[in-house]
Structure 1
Amino acid sequence: MPDPTPADFTPRRVNDTESKRKRLRVARRRATGLLVLFGVVYVLATHFGAVHGSLAWVAAFSEAALVGALADWYAVVALFRHPLGIRRLPHTAIIPRNKDRIADNLGEFIQGEFFSRDRIVTVIDAIDPARRAAAWLRTPANAEKVASWLRNGVRNAGGLLNEDEVRGYLQRAVSRHILATDLAALAGRILASLTRSGRHHEVLNLLLRYTAGQLRRPELQQTLNSLFAEKLPLYFPRLKHWAGTKGGEFTARTLAELLEEVEQTPDHALRAHFEAWLQEFTHALQHDPDYRWRLETLSRKVAQHPALHRYVDEVWTEWRAAATRDLHAPDSRFEAFLARQVLRFGEVLDNDDAMRAWVNARARRYAPQLVERHRARLGRFIADKMKEWNESELVDKLELNIGADLQYIRINGALVGGAVGLVIHAASRYL
């Protein structure tokens, strides 16, 4: 289901306003009709009072009801405008005349009562935001919605990046990382670790096996044959070709057999030589200044070499292109990954009491601070918004929302006034 846009709310707002206006008209007609009814009843009961004694009671009731209805009509109308348009009547059009003061008081009331620290903490404790967030995030549709928001945010943020600045930053970062790395010490520690655990024999066996396999390749043997035939100091071409062929194949086969023998013999003499050389080389990497200087020089050359910068540019270009394609694809893998992570986080949050307690504690701590920081602005915003309305607009908005209920005050005033009139009439008859 798509998110509602402001345009979606416009017809609903119009229908709601029309419904309130219709309700206000109906309530006004009822209250005014009751006022007219009591006026007619009073006239008739008074005129025909001699016909029957009970009409005096009807006249007393209707008279008092008429007075109560008129008094409440005056009170309700005086809130919003001047009754009968008479501007000289005191204390009328109370709301329009005091619009700014009402706005300030309302803003202060809302910021003091609705956005107080104690109120915010009470609401947080009541709603348990961590539990609600967990339940919301565990819903697949909501997780997909969050993932879609995040993907759109990343996609929009990508368009704001300055390509030259990003490339320059990546090049500098890679260069700084290479320069900051002590290659000699790092290599020495790696080799020392391999030696202590005996894993260097596995590495050696891998190298021996690979090299022996390469030496047995016909392509390599043919290359060695050509090299031997070219370099042998013989005059006759046929002899050079025959000697080169035999020498290349023999050399390659002999070296391959030797390497295979070393690989298959754990206590071979060459392994002892390799072990001694490896220990010496490891010690030199860690302690020999000459080795360290050579590797530092190599690091500087690599960090400053244009090829490294070109490589970083190519990696960035390829990565950005791939990321852009995925972010714009309808079946984005990045969005699917985010949705899975959101679902997983919701499940973890729902099952981890300690994490929920931590989230709620953070909400109780920081939410009141945030509200406290902006509470005065909220109050001023409400007050300023009310002050922007002109008098007729303010009266119209208030009448639409509370005017219908105020008309029932007129009806109740008439009925209560009539009851009081009966009491007074009875008292005057029997006292």
Structure 2
Amino acid sequence: MTMRKWANGSLVLLSVLFIAALCCVVAYPESWWARMLLYTFEAGLVGALADLFAVTVLFRHPFGMKKFPHTAIIPRNRDKLVDSVVRMVEEQLLSKESLKDKIKQFHIVEALVGWVDRRPDGFVSEQGWGIIATLLSKIDLEGVSVMLDEQARKGLRKANVSPYAGTALKWVLEKGDLQGWIGQIVDFAAQRIAVEETKQAIRNMMHKEKDKFENTGGTVSKWFKRMAVIVAESTDSLNIDDAAEAMYRDMLTFIEQLRSPEHELRVLVSDMVHKLAEDLQHSQDLSDTVNSWKNDVLDKISLLPSIQSLLGSFKQMLTEDAELKYIVLDQRSVNHEDIKRWVGEFVQGYWDWFKSSQSSMDWLEGYVQQFVGKLIETQHALVGIIVRRTLEDYTEEKLVTFIESKVEIDLQRIRLNGALIGSLVGAGLFVFLHGVYRPILDWLA
């Protein structure tokens, strides 16, 4: 049996008992117990009716009659109730200070790590790959490329590349084989010189120089130069073919001498390269020159096509539906699944490192706490807005039904208490009036 049925039953019972007590008084007018029953059940019935009326007027007009004053209190004060609830939630239950205190007591990063660790194996790698694939599929390559190009240019303009270039060059010289590289250049030059086209190129160059010599200057000067050349050729003191042959042999001899690492030119080049590495690190004049050259290059070339092409290739490489399915490196192919597996292992490895690094977790926790604190500070008004919009969706009837359903049991208990207290008060009044007050009056009389 519900509490409402108990309350209604108590009202019916008191009504029946009141009528029965009234009949007893009529039948036994001189009997004290009949009057006591009437006092008791009459007061109980009044208390039950009064509480029934009080409970009813909280939510609706009794008997549907709106002329009764101060009835349907909750529906009539709906707007005030909404405002009060909004203020209570926004300023007390979920105030800025209380929310910040609760957030500080809650370790967000540790909770996130614990939640992830409870997921099945492979969850981190799968989710990491999914996030990367989703971002790549939605990324605006052109916009990102323009942004990266601007940032790269801005960063390169600000950076003093000379010391880095000097350090890199010094590292290459220490780790590499400069004389071996020079030897390879010499071998390449020897191969190019050994062909017949080189000798012909020398001969053509000398003919051009002879023609240039004959055709420069005034008319008289040109005539004397031609005469001099004719005389030299006729006396065989000027023979271009022999000169070209001699120069060619000298070049072969010079190249052959350059094959020796102890050759003075190779030693000089090595010394100059080492000096260049040192100057790049410490010479201000050379640093200014390099940076000026760097800025000129940045003004003349664009990094945008290269960046866009690189990002496009990377996106194709990682996207499931891309046309580019394979990368070929040294005759070894890596397919899409291999790349996915590698990315998943990388994400899992980074996650494992992050969990083991308490300093990293503390740093992220501080950042998240700061972010959430700023979010609460700037967006706290949303709490009141959400509560208000939720409550405003409640019509008067819906609001009454909602509140009444939450306090139904307590309201019916109030009715029961009214009936019980009323009956006890009635019995107490009868005892006082007829057991104390009347005997005192009779004694005084």
Q: TM-score range by the shorter chain?
A: 0.5 to 0.7
Checking the alignment, whether the CA contact within 8 Å between 2:89 and 2:95 is kept in structure 1 is no
Q: Distance in 2 between matches of 1:142 and 1:68?
A: 67
Distance 1:168-1:404 versus aligned 2 partners, 3 A rule: same
Give 1:76 shift: 0.7
Give 1:130 shift: 6.1
Q: Which runs of structure 2 are paired with 1:12-161 in the superposition (5 Å)?
A: 26-48=2-24, 59-124=38-103, 127=106, 132-133=111-112, 135-136=114-115, 138-140=117-119, 144=123, 148=127, 151-152=130-131, 155=134, 159=138, 161=140
Matched residue type, 2:173: H
Q: Distance in 2 between matches of 1:189 and 1:385?
A: 65
Give 1:376 shift: 4.8
Matched residue type, 2:165: A
Structure 2 unaligned regions, length at least 5: 201-248, 323-335, 437-445
Matched residue type, 1:322: M
Partner SS for 2:319:
helix
Distance 1:418-1:126 versus aligned 2 partners, 3 A rule: farther
Once the two structures are superposed, residues 47-106 of structure 1 have per-residue CA deviations (whole angstroms, 9 ceiling, x without a partner) of 356699766655544333322221111111100111112211111001111111222222
State whether structure 2 residue 397 is matched by structure 1 residue 419.
no
Checking the alignment, whether the CA contact within 8 Å between 2:107 and 2:365 is kept in structure 1 is no
Q: Distance in 2 between matches of 1:123 and 1:181?
A: 45
Q: Which runs of structure 2 are paired with 1:24-423 in the superposition (5 Å)?
A: 26-48=2-24, 59-124=38-103, 127=106, 132-133=111-112, 135-136=114-115, 138-140=117-119, 144=123, 148=127, 151-152=130-131, 155=134, 159=138, 161=140, 163-174=141-152, 186-191=164-169, 193-194=170-171, 200=173, 202-204=175-177, 208=180, 224=191, 227-228=194-195, 273=268, 275-282=270-277, 297=293, 300-301=296-297, 304-305=300-301, 310-325=305-320, 334=343, 337-338=346-347, 341-342=350-351, 344-349=353-358, 355=362, 359=365, 363=369, 370-371=375-376, 373-376=378-381, 378-379=383-384, 381-383=386-388, 385-423=390-428
Once the two structures are superposed, residues 94-129 of structure 1 have per-residue CA deviations (whole angstroms, 9 ceiling, x without a partner) of 111111122222222222211335433553465555
Once the two structures are superposed, residues 277-298 of structure 1 have per-residue CA deviations (whole angstroms, 9 ceiling, x without a partner) of 3344446667597997589558
Distance 1:346-1:34 versus aligned 2 partners, 3 A rule: farther
Matched residue type, 2:7: A
Distance 1:355-1:92 versus aligned 2 partners, 3 A rule: same
Checking the alignment, whether the CA contact within 8 Å between 1:175 and 1:304 is kept in structure 2 is no
Once the two structures are superposed, residues 332-386 of structure 1 have per-residue CA deviations (whole angstroms, 9 ceiling, x without a partner) of 765665565456545545xx69938x947984x7766654544455335534543
Checking the alignment, whether the CA contact within 8 Å between 2:7 and 2:412 is kept in structure 1 is yes
Distance 1:420-1:298 versus aligned 2 partners, 3 A rule: closer
Partner SS for 1:40:
helix
Checking the alignment, whether the CA contact within 8 Å between 1:42 and 1:63 is kept in structure 2 is yes
Once the two structures are superposed, residues 310-345 of structure 1 have per-residue CA deviations (whole angstroms, 9 ceiling, x without a partner) of 433321210122343499999676566556545654
Distance 1:317-1:368 versus aligned 2 partners, 3 A rule: closer
Partner SS for 1:155:
helix
Normalised TM-score (structure 2)? 0.61
Q: Distance in 1 between matches of 2:435 and 2:77?
A: 48
Moved more, 315-324 or 57-66: 57-66
Normalised TM-score (structure 1)? 0.63
Partner SS for 2:86:
helix
Q: Report % sequence identity.
A: 21
Q: Distance in 2 between matches of 1:309 and 1:255?
A: 46
The structure whose Rg is larger is 2
Give 1:403 shift: 2.8
Structure 1 unaligned regions, length at least 5: 1-24, 234-246, 263-267
Q: Distance in 1 between matches of 2:117 and 2:381?
A: 36
Checking the alignment, whether the CA contact within 8 Å between 1:80 and 1:96 is kept in structure 2 is yes
Checking the alignment, whether the CA contact within 8 Å between 1:65 and 1:415 is kept in structure 2 is yes
Partner SS for 2:66:
coil
Distance 1:72-1:336 versus aligned 2 partners, 3 A rule: farther
Q: Distance in 1 between matches of 2:135 and 2:118?
A: 26
Distance 1:418-1:113 versus aligned 2 partners, 3 A rule: same
Checking the alignment, whether the CA contact within 8 Å between 1:77 and 1:83 is kept in structure 2 is yes
Moved more, 142-151 or 43-52: 142-151
Moved more, 77-86 or 379-388: 379-388
Matched residue type, 1:208: G
Once the two structures are superposed, residues 363-422 of structure 1 have per-residue CA deviations (whole angstroms, 9 ceiling, x without a partner) of 4x7766654544455335534543453322221222222234322221222222222233
Q: Distance in 2 between matches of 1:131 and 1:28?
A: 49
Checking the alignment, whether the CA contact within 8 Å between 2:354 and 2:361 is kept in structure 1 is no
Moved more, 103-112 or 120-129: 120-129
Moved more, 176-185 or 91-100: 176-185
Q: Distance in 2 between matches of 1:360 and 1:30?
A: 57
Q: Distance in 2 between matches of 1:420 and 1:295?
A: 102
Once the two structures are superposed, residues 234-267 of structure 1 have per-residue CA deviations (whole angstroms, 9 ceiling, x without a partner) of xxxxxxxxxxxxx9xx99xx899956xx7xxxxx
Once the two structures are superposed, residues 146-194 of structure 1 have per-residue CA deviations (whole angstroms, 9 ceiling, x without a partner) of 9849954982585262x43333344455555566666655434444x55
